[in-house]
Amino acid sequence: MKKKLTMFLIIEVLILLIFNIFEANIFNMEQIVFFPYYQISNILRSMSISGSIGNIISWAIYILISIIPIIIFVKIKRRNNFKNIDYLLLFISLLIFLTIYVGINPNIIEIILKQNISLQISFPIITNQLILLYIIWRFLKIDINRSNSIKYIIGILFLTNVIAVINIFGVGLKDNLNNMETLSYYGNTISIFDYLNRLKEKYMFAIDNYELIRIILDFINNNIFNIMYIFLNMNLIYILIDMENKFSENTAINKLYSLKNKIKLGLLLSIFINIIINLVYIIFEKHFYNITIKINFNLELLVYFLFISLIVQYLIKVKEIKDENKMFI
């Protein structure tokens, strides 16, 4: 399971890097609001105009994606785990169908309903809100016990890692690349792939102005705490997986104590890197274009450290009490 989770994050990073390299505006506000319907609609539109076979395949994929909530609804019915909230899946299925259709045919709103773009934007927002509402409601109704609680904690922690990776290598990386002076010259309308081709002519310009170095330093400075969070969070997930596999209490406590030290080191290292980068900017100010001095301190990581520390202290105390009871017995 450890390898699968790690491989998932690596594949996610590679996909985000490919998107950033070959797509000019993959992470702008429109795509984020419409995610994932914007991307699905574009793919289906391209397939439908590629020919008769492509059109048939696109319709099959379109219908299959739209009925996913219905398939989930039927499975829940068969498992006798049905709740009234599950009827919402039928409405979500209809909304997904309409949202993707509007994405494929963006002018349909103006033609039929004679409305502006705001109604078109409302489809994916409402759909995603209802999906989130259903997931939260379903999660609250789950009977969590000792046998499955660790699995749910692992799932939640890993989801935060997936979001952190998107922040770093998706939105964050795109923002860094868009801040490049030579890329901004083109109005951010070209892909990074096209930009790199044009950069060949301006290569010496970029080096002379330390442009590439600044972008790398900016990226590290902006994302160092998120990178540390992912690394430390994966360590905690690995420990929880070991605990689920019935590792001994001594092993779990030792690993948690080791993680506690890693978090201390991570906090200090993040602050140290931030200071070093700021010093580099100050010393070589005349060589950089549009530098930003930042004082980074991640409160979330500090809270995370305190949380782990409390868990470690609690487990140690529980073990001491158990050992004392054994001595009396």
Give the closest residue to 89 by CA, choosing from 140, 131, 132, 35.
131
Asked if pLDDT for residue 63 goes beyond 90, the answer is yes
- pLDDT tens-digit series, residues 23-60: 545 555 555 556 677 778 878 888 888 788 888 988 99
- pLDDT tens-digit series, residues 216-240: 788 888 888 888 888 888 888 888 8
Give the closest residue to 162 by CA, choosing from 322, 319, 5.
5
Is the whole model's pTM more than 0.85, yes or no? no
Q: Between 2 and 321, whose confidence is greater?
A: 2
What are the Cα distances from residue 303, in Å, to 44, 239, 264?
44, 19, 12
pLDDT at 68 (0 to 100): 92
Place of tokens 């049905």: 82
What are the Cα distances from residue 191, in Å, to 108, 141, 166, 169, 214?
29, 45, 19, 16, 20
pLDDT at 198 (0 to 100): 57
When pLDDT is averaged across residues 241-262 and rounded to a whole number, the result is 76
Tally of CA atoms within 13 A in the half-sphere of 272 that contains its CB: 7
Place of tokens 């989130």: 132
Distance, CA of 39 to chain centre? 16
Query: Which of 7-21, 68-82, 262-276 has the least mean pLDDT?
Result: 7-21
pLDDT at 249 (0 to 100): 63
